[in-house]
Amino acid sequence: MSVDRSLDLPVPIVDTDWLHRHLHHPRLRILDAVLMIPGLDRNLVAEYRQRHVPGARLFDIDAVANGEVGLPHMVPTPERFGVMVGAMGIGNDDAVVVYDEMGLMASPRVWWMFRLFGHDRVAVLDGGMPKWESEGRPLSRHMAQPTPEHFDARFRPELLRVADQLAFNLDAAADQVVDARSAGRFSGEEPEIWPGRRSGHIPCSLNLPFTDLLDPTSQTLLEAEDLRRRFDGAGIDLADPVVSTCGSGVTACVVALAAAALGRFDVAVYDGSWAEWGLPSARPVASGPPIAGGTTDDNGGLDITSAADGDVTDIVALWRDCGLVMPWNDPYADIALAQRNGNSDVLVGRVGDRIAATAMVGHDGHRGWIYYLAVAPDRQKAGLGRAMVEAAKSWVRDRGIAKLQLLIRDHNTAVQKFYESVGFTRKPLLFMEHWLDGRTGSPDA
C-alpha cells in the first residue's frame, strides 16, 4: 500500500480544530488511550464506551503491555505491539492521533510507544477529551469495528532505558535523568503511590513534574517559550541527552512530548521508572528537595570554603545523592583523613545555607589531586562544577604545585568532556591532568 501524503499530520501535537477538520479522513486513525493507576477512581474504559471522539478506537495500555514481568504498563515486544495495533485497524501508512480522558497523561505514552516501534506519523491531541468536550465537539457511542491491518513494528532501542542502564549512568553521567513525579514524591516527603516502593528518587536525577508542563486550566501543553523556561528552571539542558522517568513510565512521556515540541525527538524513557527502581533492592535512593537551579552565571552563586566538622553529614548525603559512595569505601573516614592531613582538604560550595557542591583536594609535594567532585543534581547546569574545579586549582597553586591530576572511569565520556572543557587532557591509565603553568605534558604523565 502506498503512503497517502494528502494528510499532512502536524507532530507531535495537533489541536482540536485540526482533528475536527480531518475527523473522517480515510487514512486517519484516532485512539482513546486508557490505563489504570493507583488512586484513580475512574473507569476509563466505561467512559470510552459512554462517549468518545467519533471513530476513535480504544487503546488500553495495560492490555497492550507486557504483563509477564510483574511491573505496570511495561513495553511489549515488537511482535506483540504489531499484532495488537494491527488488530485496531492501524497500518504503517496510517496517521495516528491519540487522546485521553485526563487531558495529557496517558496519550503521550501511546505516542511514545508508536515512535519506539518506528512509527513517526503519530501526534497527541492537545488538551485531550476535556478540551474536545468543553468546546462542544461531536461525540459518539458507536464502537468501531476496524478491519485488521498489518503493522510492522521496528524497534528503536535508543528511545528506551532499563534499570541496568540507569545504574550504569550513576557513574557514567552520560544522560540527564529527569523525574516527572511531583516534588513531594521526588523528595520523599509525600507517600509513594505505588505500594511496596521506597520513597525518594534516583541519585543525581532532576525534577520536572509533568504538571508543570501543562496549562492548569485547559490541560494543554504550554507554549514553546514557557516550556523552555520550565526545562531551564529544572536545570535541564536539551542540548544534552535526556532520559525521563516517573512513577511507572507513563507521565515520563509528557516530558518526552514537551521536548519533542521544542524539536528534541530523542528523549528516552526509563520504562520501569519508580515502580521498578523503588522496589526494595540494593539500588541507591536519594531523598530531599531539589536545589533550585537554572542560573548560568560563573559560579551559580557559590560560596566556597573549607568544610567544617558540622558539614560532614551533609557532604556524605550529597555524595550519596550523586552515586559517589561505593560499598568498598567509607566516606566518613575519607573526610576525617583529609581534614587532619596537612596536605589535603575538603572544599564545600554553598548556595544559601545548603551545601551544593564539594571537591576533595590534596597533593604529594609533586602533583595535586581532585577527589569527590560532586554537584547537587539540580545545579549541574549552573556552573558549580566549573567553580569547584577552579577552587581546586587555586588550592593546589597556592601550595606551589604545578600539576593537577584526577582519575576517571574509562567509559565516563561525559565527565571526561567536562574536564576537557576546564583545561584537563586525557593521559594513559585513566588519568587526566592539567598544568597550572601552561605546560601541556610531562615525561612521567
Active site residues: 246
Q: How many CB atoms lie within 10 A of CB 292?
A: 16
Distances (CA, A) of 197 to 191, 194, 205, 403, 440: 10, 6, 18, 47, 51
Q: How many CB atoms lie within 10 A of CB 281?
A: 11
Which three cell numbers mark 93? 501508512
Residues 81, 329: Cα–Cα separation, whole Å: 45
Q: Return the bridge partners of 371, or none.
A: 360
Q: For cell 476513535, what's the residue?
A: 56
Q: How many CB atoms lie within 10 A of CB 21?
A: 10
Q: What is the DSSP letter of 199?
A: S
**Length of the chain counted residue by residue:** 445
Which three cell numbers mark 230? 520550565
Which three cell numbers mark 255? 516530558
Spatial CA neighbour of 241 closest among 225, 262, 265, 214: 265
Q: What is the DSSP letter of 69?
A: S
Residues 194, 192: Cα–Cα separation, whole Å: 6
* CB of 182 closer than 8 Å to CB of 262: no
Q: Is 83 exposed, middle or buried (0-12, 13-18, 19+ CB in 10 A)?
A: middle
Element (H, E) at 397: helix 384-397
* CB of 140 closer than 8 Å to CB of 52: yes
3-state SS class at 256: helix
* CB of 73 closer than 8 Å to CB of 249: yes
3-state SS class at 270: strand
Q: Is 139 exposed, middle or buried (0-12, 13-18, 19+ CB in 10 A)?
A: middle
For residue 79, what are the contacts with CB-CB under 8 A and spacing of at least 6? 153
Q: In what order do the strands lie in the sheet with 57-60?
A: 13-14, 122-125, 95-100, 28-34, 57-60
